[in-house]
Structure 1
Amino acid sequence: MTRTFLQGGRVVALAIGAMAFVAGCGGGAQQQSAETPAPANPSGVATTTNAPWPVKTREQLDLWLHGFAMVQADTTRVPFFRRGYRDQMVVEKNRRGVTTLLDQNRAQLAARFAMNRNLVGAQFAALYFGSWDEMQRAIAIFLQAQGDPGRARDQQQQQIIAFFAQSFNTPADRDWLELFSRSLADEYTKFYHEYWIQEQRARGPVLAAVDSLWQGVYRPKFQTYLSRTQQESGDFLLSLPLDGEGRTVSAGKRENSIAVEFPESPRQAVEAVYVFAHEAVGAVANQAVIDNVTPAERREGRADRMQSAAAVRGGALLIQRVAPELLDGYSRFYLRAAGVTPSGDVAAALASTFPITDAIRDAIGRQLDTVLGGI
């Protein structure tokens, strides 16, 4: 799932300006958490850092997505989050005897979410910040200004306010953000920070396996496509709450972030590559949908419904061209994500589970052939 908060080049300046400012700003912000921020790689595993698309983890991203997973109904064909994630977290917190403001305020947060589905887009915000403390300070600036850039002290604050205003542009939405961020801060202090560190250490061998498979085998196969689609480099992020629907933001040829599922075991490491392919082809798939639906279909919401299927099918078309040995596994992974067990032809099952028009399929294929021409 791909998202930019602003159209065109302004999104780059906005994101960089926001991050640079919150990293150095002082007063007028929420109090920082008493917890010590997690080290960049708490697993202790040395991953490849001197090559494009290094494999990493980010605590603030997982925390932010965890919060959404705990309050958001997840009914999409390819789930926004790992199936059963919320129930698993409830069991884990009960085992530890922990209750937080996120638990206490869940019903209120979920009610507003059900009323305004545009809040889904706010999931991407954490990809623009370097830590949870930075993000808290930025949210505080936005809330203190009541979402009005005219109340900013300087241009950098204006950028921060404009950034969040795209997802929280009404008083009710800002009230939701205040309650959500306050609840999430309590969740972080009482539960999630410790849980996240423990999971990173336990999954160190998985991180190492993904890094080895990606940098040693598959990144070189994908690199031509990535370089020719303004995705030459970026951060390949493994995220605990995610499943087949990743999160992608693009802020320049070498400033991209793609977050994918964090596989549960080293033997499942290739699943991270499947989701990366699905995300990397997202812009091509989305454009193919836009170009091949009518205005009436767009008004009816058909384009939005078809974009998810187009990304899955587009990922298969990309893999077919650059790493065909992964195609069967990719197809079975996304069928499983959709709750489908194929009984015969896997390719046919993928096509019927994620239907798109021939025109959209052919448009994706033509664009991929153009991009990969000469290989």
Structure 2
Amino acid sequence: MRPLVRVFGLASAVAFASACASVGGGTGGSTTSGGAGPTSEQPSPAIIWPIKTREHVDLWLHGFAMLQEDTTFVPFFKRGYSTDMIVLKNRANVVSQLDANRDKLRARFALNPQLINAQFVPLSFSTWSELTQTVDLFVRANGDPRAASSQQQAGAIAYLAAYFQTGADRDWLRLFVQSLDDESSRFYHSYWVQQQRERSNVLDLVDTLWQRTYRPRMQRFLNNTQQAQGTVLLSLPLDGEGRSLTNGKQSNTITVSFPERPSDAGEAIYVIAHEAVSGIASTAVNDNITPEQRRTGLGERYQSAAAVRGGALLIQRTSPEILDGYMRYYLKSVNRPAGSNVQAAFTATFTLTDTIRDALVRQLDVVLGGI
């Protein structure tokens, strides 16, 4: 899944961080919070699409998973994730500000459902420190780029203003970041570090499968869709609906589910394929639905199904031996049985009109150039 809001002047996280020294008319310097730190560097040019993890991305998504009702067709987050986290925190006798402020933070989603798009925000930052400094800058400027003392600051403020457009949204953001800081120090940092240790063999296996087998097979598709280079992040909270951000041909981020066991390592490859085709899937849907379908939300349902079906087409064309696993994974993700005929169950579950399906196939044919 890619952002549904249009952001202004998407700058690099480095530029954001350097913009956070002061705000015209502000009251004091920026705040560097004691939350999660960075877990990876920018990818080396010699490594194409490296597999990484980033604690600040997982912390941010963890916060959303604990607050929002996940009612999407393909779930954002692993089923039962929030319940599992609550059980772990109860066992450790941990209560954080995220728990204390839960009702207040949740209430804002009902008033502004578009806040869920802010799940993409951490993908534009390299560390938790950079993110919190930029949030501090944004809040002190009251979301107004004109309060900035430099173009970099103005760009940073405008970027967050695209997601948090009102004073109430800015108050929500301030409280959310404050709550995540406390959640990290009391629980999530230690949990995240433990999970990285326990799943290190899974990360290594995903990296091996991706770099030695599946990325080379998909690279032509990636090259021809302006995704030649980037970073794949394995994320603990995510399920089949990943998070992707495009910022130029050589600067992309695809965030996918972090499998629990080595035997499930292929799940990460499935979600990478799903995310890689989301751009052409979106085009196929937008070009073939009516304004009425868009208004009623049917277009959004088609977008979700088209990304899943598009991922299957990409897998079928590049790595047909894992197509069955891909279809079973997404059927399980939406809680549907595979039955005796996986292909039939998959097609019936992720339904598309003939025009959307044909447009998706044509676009894939063009991109792959007859593979």
Using the size of structure 2 for normalisation, the TM-score is 0.94
Residue 202 of structure 2 corresponds to residue 206 of structure 1: yes
1:177-231 Cα offsets, whole Å, 9 max, x none, are 1111111111111111111111111110000000001001111110010011000
Distance 1:35 1:305, change over 3 A: closer
| Amino acid in structure 1 at the alignment position of 2:37 | P
| Alignment partner of 1:343 is 2:339 | yes
Superposition pairs of residues 18-167 of structure 1, within 5 angstroms: 18-23=13-18, 25-26=20-21, 28-34=28-34, 37=37, 39-40=39-40, 50-167=46-163
Paired letter, 2:186: K
CA RMSD of aligned residues (A): 1.8
Distance in 2 (CA, whole Å) between partners of 1:238 and 1:48 is 18
Q: Which residue identity lines up with residue 53 of structure 1 in the other structure?
A: W
Any idea what SS the aligned residue of 1:119 has? helix
Structure 1 CA distance, aligned partners of 2:268 and 2:121? 21
Query: Equivalents in 1 of 2:369, 2:251: separation in Å?
Result: 24
Q: Distance in 2 between matches of 1:38 and 1:90?
A: 25
1:6 aligns with 2:1: no
- Asked if the contact 2:201–2:262 (Cα under 8 Å) also holds between the matched residues in 1, the reply is yes
Q: Contact (CA 8 Å) 1:19, 1:128: kept in 2 or not?
A: no
SS at match of 1:15: coil
3-state SS of the aligned residue for 1:64?
A: helix
Sequence identity of aligned pairs in percent? 53
Which ranges of structure 1 fall in alignment gaps of 5 or more residues? 42-46
Equivalents in 1 of 2:369, 2:284: separation in Å? 18
SS in 1 for 2:301: helix
Q: Give the aligned partner of residue 44 of structure 1.
A: none
Deviation at residue 92 of structure 1 after TM alignment: 1.0
How far apart, CA to CA, are the structure 2 residues paired with 1:342 and 1:4? 31
The one-character-per-residue Cα deviations of 1:283-330 (angstroms, maximum 9, x if unpaired) are 000000000001222222221221111111111111111111111100
- Alpha-carbon distance in structure 2 between the residues aligned to 1:134 and 1:61: 12
**1:367 is the counterpart of 2:363:** yes
Structure 1 runs (4+) deviating above 6 angstroms are none
Q: CA deviation at 1:34?
A: 3.9
Gaps of at least 5 residues in structure 2 are 23-27
Q: Structure 1 residues 256 and 60 mapped into 2: Cα distance closer, same or farther (>3 Å)?
A: same
1:188 to 1:122, Cα distance in 2 relative to 1, 3 A: same
- 1:227 matched to 2:232? The reply is no
Give TM-score, length-normalised by structure 1: 0.93
Q: Number of residues paired by the alignment?
A: 365
